[in-house]
Structure 1
Amino acid sequence: MPFSLWLSLAAVCAMGAMSPGPSLAMVLRHTLGGGRMPGVSAALAHALGVGFYALLTVWGLGAVIVRLPMLFQVITWAGAAYLAWLGVRALMAGRGGALNATGSATSRSQAAREGMLVALANPKLILFFIALLSQFVTPEMSLEAKALVVGTAMVIDAGWYVLVAVGLSHSRVLPWLQARAHWLNRLTGVLLLALALRVVVGPLG
């Protein structure tokens, strides 16, 4: 995979990970309730769930491209619509949302279990991956390139949520994030709408 294409993949994976939602709320809750290590445990377990969905998506999309190109085109357009819907929702979100999560007593094992479940039980996650990875999967894609896509999604997801957990260990960080949550929502919304438009225009290259 060309480095420029990988940078595009990394950018959209980061955007997806940073979007406020149930995953962010879960990491916030365990960090506030148990401290740094439960938050990190939740983040790493969530990344494993993300990697599982990314693997299924890459594998499945490759087969669809080869056997049913028209169906793949429909999936691509549906993915663009989904990304646009997420973007509009983010633009309409207020100051609160996931950043207002409150903590309750928790442990590392409980945090890891919930981190995995939040990822696997979220059907929107696989829809996001279908919309995202359709821009990077090709019929001739090698096994190494597929592994790179899955690994990139996992590492970026883990890195972001570990950063959140570590950052929240310092008491001044959360109020700062809460005060700027509406700007994060707006930036996310604009980026998602731009990505939806890019999907409609054509695959990244």
Structure 2
Amino acid sequence: MIVDDHEIVRRGIAEIVDRAEDLKVVAEAATVSDALVRARLVNPDVMLVDLQLPDGTGIDLLRALKAEGSKALPIILTSFDDDTAVSEALQVGAKAFVLKSVRGNEIAEVVRQVADGQVLLDDRTITARKNDADDPTASLTPSERKVLVLIGDGLSNREIGEKLGVAEKTVKNHITSLLAKMGLQRRTQVAAWVAGQRAASWRTPRDN
């Protein structure tokens, strides 16, 4: 199954994959919502998923499918090389991470190898993921780190937006992203995490 909001890219990949005798495209989608519906219907073995979609991200889609018990093997397809994206992709079970600049015959080969159970990730990717496991904030952007601190200070989304000079919607987007990266579900969990970190840093041994 191919999920990409650019029809030309999607159709181009479909043509390449269908050209292979041992591969078949069973569905296409351009949005997260559409992809969720179609994936449930066709139960694909492998999914080529773009990171940037109109109503969310490929990570959002794969996380939702994983929660439903989908066995589809994800391949992340993107037009840029982003270490943060690689880390998030691994968290949702990505088996390969390929740039859209890859040659057509190579895409078919990646699909084939992932379908055969192979994981196509380089040493840099695996090392980055191990490092992230030690620090849940390792993959946060500078803006997300600022929002994290301000949540810990007890500021509302509106107050954070005013302090950083950005729209409240932007703050909400940052919070959604940092929650996903830290493996948390609610804003209150972020505040509790920050409080715990501050308590640990302030704690000193008692005098004898």
Instruction: Give the TM-score range, shorter chain.
Output: under 0.3
More strand by share: 2
Structure having the higher Rg: 2
Q: What's the TM-score, normalizing by structure 2? A: 0.24
Q: What's the TM-score, normalizing by structure 1? A: 0.24
Larger relative contact order, structure 1 or 2 (CA cutoff 8 Å, min sep 6): 1
